[in-house]
């Protein structure tokens, strides 16, 4: 069998509720040269039964069962590792594609293209209140309201915009993206240090090096619901997500090889802002850990392992002053 041009990768964990709609959208594509690859991370609902049903109907569906639970980021990386396609189209179990999504993405690929994203389209629950609807329709950060409407955003534009909105994913969720698998040989895979902003970190790592081809059409649909991983993460890991992740994220921006390109695009003022952000987040996390007497394992490991974090957590007079002001 010839190598597929695009691999649709669907990481699954207890995804029965929306998985059928997701898979139907994958197999309804008007584009032929693709594979669908699913990695199940130890589901204990009806996901595997449903996947077996789809394998009978669609022999080209490849289903892998992880021997042990790899977690969110681990399963994403496993999917990408197993994919045979030149291009990776992640589709999360809650999300789905427009029937011409792959063909529209493929039209925009040029020899030097590494990353494409489509316009955000959030699918909200029927009972979403006005505040939630307004947030996702007009307040949430996007490429369009951050950098203006363009068909291409340069690596420099993305890097500078990231400094205006540190920690905010204005690029796209992975379900809205298509990226060249070989690009990971340079920038690396998804970052297992992070749980909540792992998608932002990865998308920014790619975009700050290669730029972004933007398709201003609703090709992919990203579902928002109470049982989503985002919501369960926030409710069960508040301290880690609210205080530790910003520290680790800003540390990566400042010191990791993956963000060397981003740092080259920043001027001295932007670099100073990033350093201040990092130091302030370290100090706030240390204060909160002390207040809660948490001794959180993630706090202890990260604040011991990374000497730059350990030093920044002590604070300085200007960081203490910033903490009072902000």
At 128 the pLDDT is 77
48-57 pLDDT tens trace? 999 999 999 9
If we measure between CA atoms, which residue out of 66, 59, 50 comes closest to residue 15?
A: 50
At 231 the pLDDT is 47
Low-confidence ranges of the chain (pLDDT < 50): 231, 233
Q: Could you tell me which residues are beta bridge partners of residue 313?
A: none
Contact (Cβ atoms closer than 8 angstroms) between residue 311 and residue 279: no
- Please tell me the pTM assigned to this model: 0.91
CA torsion, ordered 230, 233, 236, 237, to nearest 10 deg: -130
195-253 pLDDT tens trace? 899 999 999 999 999 999 999 999 999 998 766 555 454 555 788 889 999 999 999 99
CA distances from 65 to 11, 24, 62, 94, 228 (A): 10, 20, 10, 19, 21
Q: Cβ contacts of residue 74 below 8 Å, gap of 6+?
A: 41, 192
At 77 the pLDDT is 97
At 296 the pLDDT is 64
At 227 the pLDDT is 63
Contact (Cβ atoms closer than 8 angstroms) between residue 91 and residue 175: yes
Cα separation, 89 vs 36, in Å, equals 9
Region for residue 253 given its phi and psi (left: phi exceeds 0; alpha: psi -120 to 50; beta: otherwise): alpha
At 229 the pLDDT is 54
């Amino acid at each position: 069998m010839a190598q597929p041009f695009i691999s649709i990768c669907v990481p699954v964990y207890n995804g029965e509720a929306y998985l059928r709609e997701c898979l139907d959208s994958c197999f309804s594509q008007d584009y032929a040269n693709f594979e669908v690859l699913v990695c199940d991370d130890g589901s204990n609902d009806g996901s595997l039964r449903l996947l077996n049903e789809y394998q009978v109907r669609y022999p080209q569906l490849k289903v892998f069962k992880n021997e042990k639970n790899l977690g969110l980021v681990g399963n994403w990386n496993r999917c990408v590792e197993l994919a045979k396609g030149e291009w990776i189209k992640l589709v999360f179990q809650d999300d789905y594609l427009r029937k011409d999504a792959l063909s529209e993405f493929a039209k925009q690929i040029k020899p030097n293209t590494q990353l494409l994203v489509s316009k955000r389209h959030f699918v909200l629950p029927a009972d979403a209140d006005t505040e939630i609807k307004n947030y996702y329709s007009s307040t949430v950060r996007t490429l369009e309201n951050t950098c203006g409407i363009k068909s291409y955003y340069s690596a420099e534009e993305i890097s500078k915009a990231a400094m205006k909105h540190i920690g905010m994913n204005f690029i796209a969720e992975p379900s809205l993206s298509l990226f060249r698998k070989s690009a990971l040989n340079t920038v690396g895979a998804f970052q297992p240090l992070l749980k909540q902003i792992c998608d932002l970190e990865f998308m920014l790592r790619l975009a700050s090096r290669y730029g972004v081809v933007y398709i201003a059409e609703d090709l992919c649909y990203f579902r928002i619901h109470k049982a989503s991983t985002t919501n369960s993460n926030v409710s069960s890991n508040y301290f880690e997500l609210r205080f530790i992740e910003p520290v680790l994220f800003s540390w990566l921006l400042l010191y990791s090889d993956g963000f060397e390109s981003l740092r080259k695009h920043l001027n001295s003022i932007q670099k100073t802002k990033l350093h201040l952000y990092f130091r302030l987040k370290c100090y706030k996390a240390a204060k909160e850990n002390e207040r809660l007497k948490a001794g959180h394992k993630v706090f202890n490991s990260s604040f011991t392992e990374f000497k730059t974090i350990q030093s920044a957590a002590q604070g300085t007079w200007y960081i203490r002053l910033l903490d009072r002001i902000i």
